[in-house]
Structure 1
Amino acid sequence: MSLLICGSIATDHLMSFGGRFKDSLVLEQLDKLAVSFLVDDLEIRRGGVAPNMSFGLARLGLRPVLVGAAGDDFTDYRSWLERHGVDCSFVHISDTRHTARFVCTTDSSMAQFASFYAGAMSEARLIELQPIVDRVGAPDFVLVAADDPEGMLRHTRECRQRGFPFIADPSQQLAFSEGDLIRDLIDGATYLFSNEYESHMIESKTGWSADEVLERVGTQVTTLGADGVRILARDAAPVEVKAVPGITAVEPTGVGDAFRAGFLAGLEWGFDHERSAQVGCSLAAYVVETVGTQEYTFTHDQFVDRVRTGYGEHAAADVAANLR
C-alpha cells in the first residue's frame, strides 16, 4: 500500500513587511491599485504543497510518494527530500521550464500578498498514476492538491475510473477555477480539505449547499486557523479540535500543508478523525513557529510531548505507539 501526494513543487520566496497592508489601501481606489512595500527580509525556501505534505509525512515516519512536475533545477531539492524519507522517483522533470516559484509577502498582522509562477508545474498533466501504482502498490489514498488544473483533473478522473480512494485539496486553485472544474475535482472524494474561506468559495462557485457538498464527499475537513479544525462526515457527529495552545506565530506559510500531513499520518495509523486532527494540529504548530515550510525539526519525544501538552496523555500514548 502507498500514499501518493500529487501537487505543486515550488521554491518559496518569503518576505516580511513590518507594517500592515491595510494601512496602505484606499478602499475607494482598489480598482486603481498600485502599491509597493519595503520589506525587512527575504528567505528563499523549499516549498510547493506536495513536497510540504510529503516532508511532514516523512518526519512522522511514513514513506510518501511525491507526484508532480519540476524543472532541471530540482536536483538539490530532490536530494533534500530523499534524505528526509520522501520517494521522489516519479517526479516528472521538464526539459524546458524551471521549477515553479511562490513569492509571498507577509505583514505584521499575518495578512499576505502572494504570486505564483507555474513553470514546470504545467507539465503535471502529462503524469499518469497507474504506472506509479504498478511500481509502489495500490494506494491507501491519492491526495490531489493544488497543481496544474489539467493535471489535477486528470489525476481525479483516473482515481474515479480506477477506484483509487482520493483526497480533494484544491485550495489555491479555487480562486482561479469555475464551478464545473471544482465540481469535477471534489465529486466522489473520500476527504475534502479546505480552510473556512475556501469552503464558502466551494459552495458559491459550485452552487452546492454545505449539505450537498457533504453528500458528494465522504468527509469534509475545514481548517479554522488559530481556532483549530472542524470535521463533518456523513452519518456522524461533527468533530471540532482546538489548535495546540501556547504557539508563538512567526510565519503561516505551509501550516495547512503540515496539518494535512499530520491528519493523513493519523489515518494511516488507524486513528479516528479526532485523534488524526490532533496529530495534524501538533505538526502544524511547528510550521507556524518557523520561517519556511520544511525548516522545522523535532525528536520523537518532543513531538509526543507536544501532543501531550495539547491533547492529554491518551493522545500522547497513541502517537508514541505509532511514531517511528
Structure 2
Amino acid sequence: MRIAVTGSIATDHLMTFPGWFTEQLLADRLDRVSLSFLADNLEVRRGGVAANIAFGLGVLGLRPVLVGAVGSDFEPYRIWLKDHGVDTDSVRVSESLHTARFVCTTDRAQNQIATFYAGAMSEAREIDLRDVAARAGRLDLVLVSPDDPEAMLRHTRTCRELGIPFAADPSQQLARLGRDEVRELVDGARRLFTNEYEAALLVERSGWSEAELLRRVGSWVTTHGAAGVRIHGEGREPLAVPAVEVAGVVDPTGVGDAFRAGFLAGTAWGVPERCAAQLGCAVAATVLDYVGTQEYRLHRDPLLDRIRTTYGVGCTASLVTHLRGLS
C-alpha cells in the first residue's frame, strides 16, 4: 500500500522548564501575560508532523511518500529520512525561506508552550499531487496533516478529483481555519484524526454535530493521551483501546504522530482495526522513552512484548508477520 503523507517538515527546538507553568500564571492578569522561563536544557531535533509520521511508517517497513516544502538547509534531514525508508523526492525546496521551526518548552507536569514558524511551509501550496502520483506511482491513501492551509485544501480537492482515498488530520491548524474550510477538509475522508481537545474544537469550527461528522467520514480516530484511543464510526459501537503504560515519560513531543504511523501501518497491512490501534499505542509508548520525535528505535520483540503485556496475545499473531523486518 502506497501512502503519501502531506504536511509540515520542521526542526524542533525542545526545552525543559524544571517548574510548573501554572504557578507563574495569575488568574487576574491573564489579559496581560509577559513571562519567560529559564530552561534547563535545549535539544535540537528533526520534526514536523508529516516528517514524523513518514519516519514512523518508514521504520515499520513501508515506503511512504513525504510531501511538503522545506528550505535549502534540508539536505542533512533528507538523507536521514531516506536512510529510514522515506521517499523524499516529492519535497519542494524553497529558494528563499528556511525550513519551518517548532520551538517548545515542557514543564514538570508535561504541559507545553510552543511556537511554530512556518517558513518554507508556505510554499507547500505550490505542490500538485498529480505530479507526485505521476512520479511515485498510484497512491492508495493520502494523509492530509497540518500544513499551509491552502496546501491542505488543494491536496484534499485533488484527492477528490483523482479519486484517491484521503485521511484528514487538521489538528493544530483547526484554530485558524474557517467553517467552510474545515468542512471541505473533513467531508469524505476515509479516516479523521484528532485528539480529545481537537475533537471538541472540530465540532465547534465545522458547525456539524458529532453525528453529522460521523456521517461524512469512514471513521473518526481520537487520541485521549493516557486514556488511550477511541474509534467511532456511524452505525457501530465505538472501539476503545487503552494506552500502553509508560513509567517515567521522558518527552511527550510527537506521541500523536507516532500513533498515527503505527495505526496507518496496521491498516495498510490489513490487520483488524483493534490491532492497528494497539500497534499505534505501542509505537507511541516507545516515543515517550526518548527526547525528540524521531530518535526512537523499534525492535520487534520489545514492541510485541508491550502489546502482549497491555492487551494480551490476541493481536500478536496478526502483527508478528508484518514486523519481521524489525531487528
User: Is the structural similarity TM-score above 0.5?
Assistant: yes
Amino acid at match of 1:98: H
TM-score when normalising by structure 1: 0.98
Distance in 1 (CA, whole Å) between partners of 2:67 and 2:78 is 12
Shift of 1:27: 1.6
Distance in 2 (CA, whole Å) between partners of 1:71 and 1:53 is 20
SS of the residue 1:139 aligns to:
coil
Check the 8 A contact 1:54/1:66 in 2, yes or no.
Answer: yes
Check the 8 A contact 2:271/2:319 in 1, yes or no.
Answer: no
What are the equivalent positions in structure 2 for 1:1-324 lying under 5 Å apart? Answer: 1-323=1-323, 324=325
Tell me the C-alpha RMSD between the 2 structures: 1.0
Distance in 1 (CA, whole Å) between partners of 2:215 and 2:248 is 38
Check the 8 A contact 1:99/1:119 in 2, yes or no.
Answer: yes
Structure 1 unmatched ranges of 5 or more:
none
Paired residues in the alignment total 324
Shift of 1:134: 1.9
Distance in 1 (CA, whole Å) between partners of 2:282 and 2:149 is 31
Distance in 2 (CA, whole Å) between partners of 1:74 and 1:11 is 9
Distance in 1 (CA, whole Å) between partners of 2:181 and 2:219 is 20
Shift of 1:298: 2.8
Shift of 1:136: 2.1
* Structure 1 range deviating more: 134-143 or 46-55: 134-143
Amino acid at match of 2:13: H
Shift of 1:207: 1.1
Amino acid at match of 1:271: V
Shift of 1:218: 1.0
TM-score when normalising by structure 2: 0.97
Identity, % of aligned positions: 56
Amino acid at match of 1:60: L
SS of the residue 1:37 aligns to:
coil
* Structure 1 range deviating more: 69-78 or 137-146: 137-146
Distance in 1 (CA, whole Å) between partners of 2:263 and 2:138 is 20
Check the 8 A contact 1:247/1:285 in 2, yes or no.
Answer: no
Shift of 1:209: 0.7
Distance in 1 (CA, whole Å) between partners of 2:298 and 2:89 is 26
Distance in 2 (CA, whole Å) between partners of 1:103 and 1:184 is 30
Check the 8 A contact 2:18/2:107 in 1, yes or no.
Answer: yes
Distance in 1 (CA, whole Å) between partners of 2:246 and 2:62 is 27
